[in-house]
Every structure is written in structure tokens, then in C-alpha cells.
Amino acid sequence: MKHLPMYPVSVVGSWPRPEYLLSAQRRRSAELPALRERACAEALADQLGVGVDLPSDGEQRRDNFYSFLCERLEGLELLSMAQLLDYVEDKAAFEGLLRALDVPAFAIKNPTVVGTLKRRGSLVGGDLSFARRHSRGQVKLTLPGPYLLSRSIWVKALSERAYPTRESLNDDLVRILREELAELVAAGADFVQFDEPVLSELVFAGKSATRTFMCAALAAKSSPEEELELAVELINRVTEGISGPTLGVHVCRGNWSTQEDVLLSGSYGALMPTLARMRVDQFVLEYATPRAGPLEVLAKLPPGASLGLGAVNPRTTELETPEAVAERVREVARYVPAQRIYLNPDCGFGTFAERPVASRELALRKMDVLAQAAAILRRG
């Protein structure tokens, strides 16, 4: 594994898509595979150009952070929220929710189980070898976490023939992600991040809230306590005995809108007992937004874990200053050893292809701030 400098600068995953890619996607162009590769190479070049140490391919092959599984797993189909309206149990409530959350029903697509799940091949192994050819050092791979999948892809009316209950799906999810990790270990992957944004919905949306986290939490849930327990169990089953790549978990409060007031808010303190029991190496957490609460709770991260510190907000056009970011990192170093702090944006810049929270230009400027902050910290 190639060496990372102190205060590595990284991303959470997604990068805004170029217009040629979006247009080819809409037209279902035959050129799409080649254009996706071009966009991935450009996203890597963009990040490397501003000094990102651990870049991603920008998730340019994905419509969103978990929808791409439809192309790589048998038994999954991509349905828009508009299509899903026909199948969700409480249609009026779901429609109202989409409106309240500032989400157009056509723009967000959800992978949905319609048959028995089976990998068609590697989920991201091909992405890794491509990214390696277009970067100088380590690259980050992102995968939807097992709990996210357990909550999002099972829609009773469509899924129950293959999996009568949501619980019956979980064993297959664990098996599929473990198969994938084993292959990534063999390929010498550097960093694999599991995205688990729905965890925040469990603790911040309130006990009575259901389906507040838009598409990524379609399945009805048990009590928050049981769901958090399940999330720990699932990730630990996936990562058990795996060594080689750095394994990360990303938890944020949603990234579908630039309107901060429609996104969830609450301290990570409520999630710390859950995170502390997850057997992973790094937690990638948003801290640029004030909605994330106080830094002190970071002291409760498991000893030895590193922190991907969200230090710039991808959803604001206002630019953070490198000095302020460096100061923030120094503050965080009171709770997490400095040698275990990575500098990240709070979340992706283009989680949803058709609905990025930032332009490419803004993403570049935000990442440049992080790189400058890292330079200040390394000097100091």
C-alpha cells in the first residue's frame, strides 16, 4: 500500500457529473460505458489536480450512491420515486413526504428487490483497476452499507416473492458484500467505505417518524434500538476477519438538498454507542455543518479508529478558509489523535446524478481549501 501523508485529504465519494455524461445517461446512449470512463478519469484528475491524497472515481458510473448495484446484481431493479408511488403502502403520506423534503419524485431512483440477489460479477473491482490506472497512489472505493441496503431495497409488494420478509434478505446482503470484500482484498484495495446515512434517520428523526429519510429508508423499521443493533450486527458480519484495506463507515444527515433546514440535525453523540461497536477502521463524519453538533463526542470513537473529518460543506456556496479548517482540525485533535485525522468534505458533491449539491467548480474550490488546510497543518 502506498504511503499517505499526515492529514490525508480525501473525498466522501461522488463528484458532479459533466453534462455530456448526464445527457448520454438520459438518452441511454450506446456510448455510455466509454463516457463513464472518461468522466471517472476526469473526476480523478480533478481531485489529484487540487492535491487530494485519497481520491475516488467520483462515482461517475452511478446514478446515485447505491443505485448502481442494479447493474451489478441480479434481482435488483432501479425504480424512480414516481414509479414506487404505485407500490408503497401509504401513497398520500409518501407523496407529502417527497414534497416536504424538497425531492422531485422523478429525480431520485431507488434500487428495489424484484428477485433473488446474485452478483453478476465484481461490484466495484473493475472500478478499482480503472481508478488505479488513472491515479498515482491510493484510491477510495465506496459501497452501500449492509444496513442501508436492508432498509432501502426491500419494498414489500415487489420483493416478497424472492424474500418474504426484510429480515430474510439480510443474509444474502452480508454474503454478497463479503464476497466483494474478499475480492477487493485480493486485488489489494486501499480503502473501502460503506455508506450508512440512514443510521442518522434512526436517531435524529424522532421515535414516531417513519420514512423520513426519503428513498433510502423505504422499509418499515422496528424500534430505533433494534435497528441500531441490526446495523452493528450487519456491518460486523460483513467485515469479520477481513484485513488489508482500510474499512470505513460514512454517516451523514442526508445530502439531497442544499436547503439545510430540510436535512436532519442532531449530535453524533446519540450514535456513538453504535459506532463504537462497529469493527471498522475509520468513521467518515460530517462536521462542517452546525447540524452535526459538538466535537467533544468524538472522544467516544473506538480507540484506534481514524476519523474522516467533514471540514467543508458541499452544500454551501460560501467558501471555508484554509486557516479556519486548520483551526478546526487542531480542535478535533483534542479528541482524536492528529495522526488519525483525515480531511474530508461532509458528504459527496453529487450524491444524486441529476441533483448534485455543488458544481464541479465549487467542488474543486472546496477541495482546494482542504488541501491548503492540510498544508498549513503539515507545516505546523
- Are the C-beta atoms of 16 and 352 separated by less than 8 Å? no
Min separation Cβ 11 and Zn ion, Å: 11
Residue (113 or 307) nearer to Zn ion, CB: 307
Angle at 272 between CA 178 and CA 285, to 5 degrees: 70
Stretch that binds Zn ion, among 49-57, 75-83, 155-163, 346-354 (CB under 5 A): 346-354
- Are the C-beta atoms of 118 and 69 separated by less than 8 Å? no
Taking the C-alpha atoms of residue 116 and residue 74, their distance in angstroms, rounded to an integer, is 7
Stretch that binds Zn ion, among 167-175, 224-232, 342-350, 369-377 (CB under 5 A): 342-350
Grid coordinates representing 377?
497543518
Rule CB under 5 A: choose which of 252, 325, 326, 367 binds Zn ion: 252
- Are the C-beta atoms of 255 and 315 separated by less than 8 Å? yes
- Are the C-beta atoms of 60 and 43 separated by less than 8 Å? yes
Under rule CB under 5 A, residue 203 binds Zn ion: no
| DSSP characters over 112-142 | EEEEEEEESS-SSHHHHHHHHHT-SS--EEE
Stretch that binds Zn ion, among 28-36, 150-158, 347-355, 358-366 (CB under 5 A): 347-355
Q: Between the CA of residue 62 and those of 21, 67, 351, what are the distances in Å? A: 11, 7, 9
Residue (248 or 322) nearer to Zn ion, CB: 248
Min separation Cβ 164 and Zn ion, Å: 31
Q: Between the CA of residue 168 and those of 159, 163, 316, what are the distances in Å? A: 11, 6, 41
Min separation Cβ 177 and Zn ion, Å: 19
The HSE-up count of residue 300 (CA atoms within 13 Å, CB side) is 15
Please give the helix or strand (H or E) that residue 192 lies within, else none.
strand 191-195
Of the candidates 160, 188, 149, 184, the residue with the CA atom closest to the CA atom of residue 1 = 188
Under rule CB under 5 A, residue 128 binds Zn ion: no
Task: Scan residues 255-294 and list those touching Zn ion (CB under 5 A).
Answer: 255
Min separation Cβ 112 and Zn ion, Å: 21
Under rule CB under 5 A, residue 311 binds Zn ion: no
Residue (50 or 252) nearer to Zn ion, CB: 252
Q: Which amino acid, 93?
A: A
Query: Number of residues in contact with Zn ion, rule: CB under 5 A?
Result: 3
Taking the C-alpha atoms of residue 373 and residue 299, their distance in angstroms, rounded to an integer, is 22
Of the candidates 151, 183, 157, 181, the residue with the CA atom closest to the CA atom of residue 169 = 151
Min separation Cβ 175 and Zn ion, Å: 26
Under rule CB under 5 A, residue 199 binds Zn ion: no
Under rule CB under 5 A, residue 358 binds Zn ion: no
Stretch that binds Zn ion, among 223-231, 246-254, 273-281, 371-379 (CB under 5 A): 246-254
Of the candidates 314, 203, 189, the residue with the CA atom closest to the CA atom of residue 251 = 203
Residue (81 or 252) nearer to Zn ion, CB: 252
Under rule CB under 5 A, residue 214 binds Zn ion: no
Residue (162 or 262) nearer to Zn ion, CB: 262
Taking the C-alpha atoms of residue 140 and residue 191, their distance in angstroms, rounded to an integer, is 5
Taking the C-alpha atoms of residue 139 and residue 131, their distance in angstroms, rounded to an integer, is 7
Min separation Cβ 32 and Zn ion, Å: 26
Min separation Cβ 14 and Zn ion, Å: 9
Stretch that binds Zn ion, among 142-150, 222-230, 232-240, 248-256 (CB under 5 A): 248-256
Under rule CB under 5 A, residue 148 binds Zn ion: no
Min separation Cβ 254 and Zn ion, Å: 7
Rule CB under 5 A: choose which of 347, 364, 367, 373 binds Zn ion: 347
Stretch that binds Zn ion, among 253-261, 289-297, 353-361, 362-370 (CB under 5 A): 253-261
Under rule CB under 5 A, residue 158 binds Zn ion: no
Residue (169 or 192) nearer to Zn ion, CB: 192
Residue (44 or 198) nearer to Zn ion, CB: 198
Taking the C-alpha atoms of residue 302 and residue 66, their distance in angstroms, rounded to an integer, is 27
Residues engaged in binding Zn ion (CB under 5 A): 252, 255, 347
